[in-house]
């Protein structure tokens, strides 16, 4: 059976809820109402799919509206949500707007945070409410990009399904209201993924560099994308690699030169990565307790020295002993470190999102109290937004090499690091794209086993 086969017995019920009959052809293909515009065939799977600009406006509007309304309703109910990191960003944004300097302690220039989010805060006059509205819009566009990426590797019905999952993804909804860099980072990583998938390598490299100015973690995606390009077998792969890497380096170099000049040593965008490795080596600490950071900043000599540092030179210098101690802790008790990681890693991508949903009850507590409705809700959320998409993504990963590299690299790099569910947020759009491909594979298998004829899409 052709990779793009569509069973004639599987009408797209999802499509017919949001499009008129004139928008949907018998094989489930969407065209515009006024004119039936041409399609293109996906290089990855052979599915004939509409180009992004040709997809029915009602489909795109529905996906965007679902995501935006969900986020704005959450914002209306909870307002802007602040944390200790939020205070750092607001201080940087205020000083940047007033004195045109990225600094926590004027006149000292800082390397503790990347510049992207403080710049956004400065542009919105340090207004948390305006920043949240911008984040809600950006994250709703991310849902549209999930739809675009998924429609290139699966039938449109599955693309609608996974984009709807992102629209209601509890972690994305919650963090759209948080004064943190996560949502902007997710938007830029997903945009870079979309561009590299469409062979827009120069633009993808530039956008990925911009994402790194929000969170330097974005650099980890460059290497696997280069590997995917190299083994793609394309005749112009050397040129493609050169464009991707060159634009990435060119757009990032000015900031790296700035950090070098103020810290007097190489700092990749910002300091802070050492503590993310160090804290997990403290195996006697409760890694699931968010209050661990305030406790350690006050009691741990290495972290306290880093926390109170005011100059860029001090911040950069204080990272080295933290890194050395982290390595020493692992070497001293590797078995305990491994056991701690095995316990912590599942919490990266499996969560019932209590803070977003308001359930706020661990499974053990809910079961002990016989709150079976709460237990059912937590299991359902865990399955819908965690287990099922991840399993489908693993199944369809081979069809989405660029997307797969995002979530797989995130999982591998986070293994030895401090883990919070929010660190999985940038990978989740890519998970959904691979999941759509996995559902397409299941659909093809079921169609091949049915007694109905299969036609080429």
**Confidence (pLDDT) at 449:** 77
Q: What is the pLDDT of residues 422-436, one digit of tens each?
A: 999 999 999 999 999
| pTM, rounded to two decimals | 0.86
What is the number of structural domains in the chain?
1
**Confidence (pLDDT) at 56:** 66
**Confidence (pLDDT) at 350:** 84
**Confidence (pLDDT) at 62:** 94
**Confidence (pLDDT) at 53:** 45
Residue 307's CB: how many other CB atoms inside 10 A?
17
Query: What are the residues whose beta carbons fall under 8 Å from the beta carbon of 371, sequence distance 6 or more?
Result: 361
**Confidence (pLDDT) at 27:** 46
| Rounded Cα distance, 350 and 405, in Å | 19
Q: By residue range, what is the domain housing residue 53?
A: 5-456
**Confidence (pLDDT) at 57:** 77
**Confidence (pLDDT) at 125:** 93
| Residue-level pLDDT, tens digit, the chain, 457 residues | 444 444 444 434 334 334 444 444 444 444 443 333 334 444 444 554 444 444 567 888 999 999 999 999 999 999 999 988 999 999 999 999 999 999 988 888 999 999 999 999 999 999 999 999 999 999 999 999 999 999 999 999 999 999 999 999 999 999 999 999 999 999 999 999 999 999 999 999 999 999 999 999 999 999 999 999 999 888 889 999 999 999 999 999 999 999 999 999 999 999 989 999 999 999 988 877 778 888 999 999 999 999 999 899 999 999 999 999 999 999 999 999 999 999 888 889 888 788 787 777 777 788 878 888 888 988 999 999 999 999 999 999 999 999 999 999 999 999 999 998 999 999 999 999 999 999 999 999 988 877 555 444 4
**Confidence (pLDDT) at 43:** 45
**Confidence (pLDDT) at 365:** 80
| Rounded Cα distance, 49 and 30, in Å | 8
């Amino acid at each position: 059976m052709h990779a793009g086969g569509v069973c004639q017995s599987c009408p797209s019920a999802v499509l017919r809820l949001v499009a008129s009959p004139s928008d949907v052809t018998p094989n489930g293909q969407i065209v515009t109402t006024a004119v039936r515009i041409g399609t293109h065939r996906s290089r990855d799977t052979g599915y004939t799919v509409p180009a992004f600009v040709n997809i029915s406006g009602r489909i795109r509007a529905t996906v965007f509206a679902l995501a935006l309304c969900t986020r704005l309703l959450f914002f209306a109910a909870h307002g802007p949500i602040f944390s200790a990191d939020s205070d750092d960003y607001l201080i940087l944004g205020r000083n940047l707007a007033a004195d045109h300097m990225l600094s926590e302690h004027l006149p000292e220039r800082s390397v503790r945070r990347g510049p992207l989010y403080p710049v956004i805060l400065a542009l919105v006059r340090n207004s948390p409410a305006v920043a949240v509205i911008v984040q809600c819009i950006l994250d709703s566009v991310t849902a549209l990009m999930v739809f675009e990426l998924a429609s290139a590797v699966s039938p449109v019905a599955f693309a609608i399904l996974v984009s709807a999952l992102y629209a209601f993804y509890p972690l994305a909804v919650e963090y759209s209201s948080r004064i943190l860099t996560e949502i902007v980072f997710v938007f830029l990583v997903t945009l870079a993924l979309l561009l590299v998938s469409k062979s827009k390598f120069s633009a993808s490299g530039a956008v990925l560099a911009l994402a790194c100015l929000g969170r330097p973690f974005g650099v980890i995606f460059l290497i696997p994308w280069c590997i995917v390009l190299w083994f793609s077998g394309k005749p112009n792969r050397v040129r493609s690699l050169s464009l991707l890497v060159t634009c990435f380096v060119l757009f990032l170099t000015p900031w790296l030169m700035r950090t070098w000049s103020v810290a007097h040593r190489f700092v990749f965008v910002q300091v802070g990565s050492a503590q993310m490795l160090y804290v997990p080596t403290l195996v006697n600490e409760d890694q699931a307790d968010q209050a661990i950071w305030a406790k350690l900043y006050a009691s741990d000599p290495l972290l306290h020295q880093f926390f109170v540092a005011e100059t860029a030179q001090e911040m950069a210098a204080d990272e080295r002993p933290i890194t050395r101690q982290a390595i020493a802790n692992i070497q001293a008790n590797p078995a305990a470190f491994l056991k701690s990681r095995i316990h912590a890693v599942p919490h990266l991508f499996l969560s019932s999102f209590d803070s977003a949903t308001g359930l706020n009850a661990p499974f053990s507590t809910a079961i002990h109290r016989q709150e079976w409705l709460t237990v059912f809700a937590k299991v359902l959320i865990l399955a819908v937004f965690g287990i099922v998409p991840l399993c489908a993504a693993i199944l369809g990963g081979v069809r989405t090499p660029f997307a797969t590299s995002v979530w797989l690299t995130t999982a591998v790099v986070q293994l030895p690091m401090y883990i919070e569910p929010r660190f999985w947020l940038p990978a989740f759009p890519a998970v959904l794209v691979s999941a759509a491909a996995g559902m397409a594979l299941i659909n093809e298998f079921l169609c091949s086993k049915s007694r109905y004829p299969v036609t080429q899409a």
